[in-house]
Each structure stands twice: as C-alpha cells, then as structure tokens.
Copies of this chain bind each other. A is one copy, B any other.
Amino acid sequence: MKAFVTGAAGFIGSNLVDRLLADGHEVMGFDNLSTGHLAFLEQADATGHFGLCRGDILDPEALSREMRGSDVVFHLAANADVRFGAMQTRRDLEQNTIGTANVLEAMRIAGVPKIVFSSTGSVYGEATVFPTPEDHPFPIQTSFYGASKLAAEALIQAYAEAFEIQGYIFRFVSVLGERYTHGHVVDFYKQLVQHPNQLKVLGDGHQKKSYMYVQDCISGIFRALEHAQEKVNILNLGADEYCEVNASIQWICDELGLKPTREYTGGSRGWVGDNPFIFLDCTRIRALGWQPRLSIREAVIRTIDYLRGPTASTGVSEFSCDK
C-alpha cells in the first residue's frame, strides 16, 4: 500500500508513519513543519521507503501533485491548539476546514479512494449522554476547534456521497505518548521543571477527561481500516474510562516525586469552549476487535517518562532532544 500522510512530522503523524513503514508500506509524508519536527522522521527516513514533501494543505496544487498514486490519505495535519480558537477566530477554519476541503479536492483530482481523518470528541460540544455514542443527539458546538472539525467531517461525508471516496472519521479523545508536544501533560511538566513547588491549573481541576495512548490510537485506526467497510465510517476512539484533571496531576507529581502547591484559575472550564466532561462510548470500534492496551494512568506516566528524556523505555527515546 502507498500511504500519504498529512501532518507526518507531528506527534500522531510521525508515530503513524513509523507504524506504516514497519508494516511494509510505502509512505509519502506532507508537512509544512509549522509545528512538526523533522527529527520525528529520522527513523522513517532511514528505512528508504519514506519521502517527505514540505508543503502546506492550503496549497491545493501541491497536495494533488504529491498524493498522486496513493491508495489512502491519512489526513492528520491540523491546528490542534484547541484552547485558542476564540483568540484567533480564523485559524481553525483555515487549517482544519479549508485544509480538509483542499485535501478532499486533491483526492478527487488525483483519484485517491480512501481518507482517514483525525476528528475529535470535541464535535459533541457539551454532550448530554455519557459515555457519548457516535449517534449522540445533534450537538451544539462550543469551540472553534470542534466546529472546524465538524465542518471537515461534513465535507468528507459529502465527498463520499458524491465521489468514489471512502471515509474513516475517528473522533479521538486526547492522545498521549512519545513525541507528545502539546496539551495538559506537557504544560504541567514544563511548569514543574521550572517551579517544582508550584502548579497553575486551568479551571477547578474537576474537569473529567479521557486520554489514549498514541500506539493504541494507531492500532484502532488500522483495525477499522481492515474491518469497517461503510462508505462513511465514523468511530469514537478512546479509553473506556476517564479521569479528573486532579488525578492526572497526582500521577504526574508522583512520577516526578513532587508535591507542588496547586493554584486553580477556577470555574468548571479551563478556557472558553473547554468541555468539563469528555467520555466517549467506544462500543463501535471495540466491536471490530480493538481495545486499548494502556490505561489512562499508564499513558500519562509513559508520556512523563518520554518528556523526562533518554531513560524512557519506549523505543523512541532517541528523539527526546525534541521534547
């Protein structure tokens, strides 16, 4: 199989590239390196079966030119800074919605028949059903990030209806693991490296969130590609558990041997559009024979181990220079 991966130099993208190569596939990566790291692709480079195009998903011509001959597009390039949507109202629209429209149009032109898309549990807004199933009542969006991903999902569905394109839409919980570069674990870790006795926490710490280990996430994607064959396949992908932000902080502190004073900004939400409770119903993907191997606690600790450096027992510790 020849795979085309947008966002190949990112956290999930580069891990996906390595897994695809390990499974014997040819991979062409596409990344503008705005947030990705070339170092994440050193292992891929060494295989001789990987190529990287330094391009932008806002450049439709580059997309269709580079993806020609591919069997599947893994579209992971995105603005993933969920928190700042209201401060940069155009960014999610451009990077996530218009970018996805460009990827789809390039697929139509280049004749690529399959797209895997990294959507998000944020499309449920503030869900009213927990765990939240894929057919949750028509949600109301609460973030620019969720809105932009929902719009991208809708475009994939319209393309699947109109053209010979099959869609795999994964609604992720937050993903943790090696090469993790942004999100609450790295925020807390960085704070504690600077000030081991003090930790600033957005919200009241009682936000309930779900997380997943990056290799489990990739296994779920592969499982679905093999076993789900609808025109449009929509699948939640996450753990069958959730934790309070406070619990996550405790695991991090225990792992680092620290007991900082916690300073809460207050309120049940960490930022505008923050969702105080994320817990996805993953019955659908589990019915395909997938289950996560790491618990949320294990995924958090694995991430801290990675961030701490070369002592990590993860197989990618050589990239810790990019932490």
Listed in ascending order, the chain A residues whose CB lies under 8 Å from chain B are: 85-86, 89-90, 93, 97-98, 101, 104-105, 108, 124-125, 134-144, 146-148, 150-151, 153-155, 157-159, 161-163, 232, 234, 272-273
Contact = CB atoms under 8 A, between A and B. Distances in A.
6 contacts: A97-B97, A144-B162, A146-B158, A147-B151, A148-B154, A162-B273
A272 to B, nearest CB: 5
Top 5 nearest A-B pairs (CB, nearest first) are A151-B151, A147-B154, A86-B162, A135-B137, A141-B157
Contact of A232 (B140, B143, B151): B140
A97 B161 CA distance: 19
Contacts of A137: 135-138
B157 A272 contact: no
A139 B136 CA distance: 9
A105 to B, nearest CB: 6
Nearest to A104: B89
Contacts of A90: 101, 105
Nearest to A60: B90
Given A273-B161, A273-B162, A138 B141 contact: no
A138 B128 CA distance: 13
Contact of A105 (B89, B136, B142, B163): B89
Given A138-B139, A154-B146, A234-B140, A161 B105 contact: no
Nearest to A92: B158
Contact of A147 (B108, B134, B158, B273): B158
A41 to B, nearest CB: 31
B108 A161 contact: no
Contacts of A141: 153-155, 157-158, 161
Given A97-B97, A150-B154, A161 B143 contact: yes
Contacts of A163: 86
A144 B162 CA distance: 9
A158 B144 contact: yes
Contacts of A154: 141, 146-148, 150-151
Nearest to A137: B135
A134 B85 CA distance: 26
Contacts of A85: 158, 162
Nearest to A155: B147
Given A154-B147, A273-B161, A138 B138 contact: yes
A159 B143 CA distance: 8
A154 B138 CA distance: 11
A88 B169 CA distance: 24
Contact of A161 (B101, B104, B142, B150): B142
A93 B98 contact: yes
A28 B122 CA distance: 37
A49 to B, nearest CB: 33
Given A89-B104, A142-B158, 5 more contacts: A85-B162, A97-B97, A140-B232, A142-B161, A150-B150
A153 B139 CA distance: 11
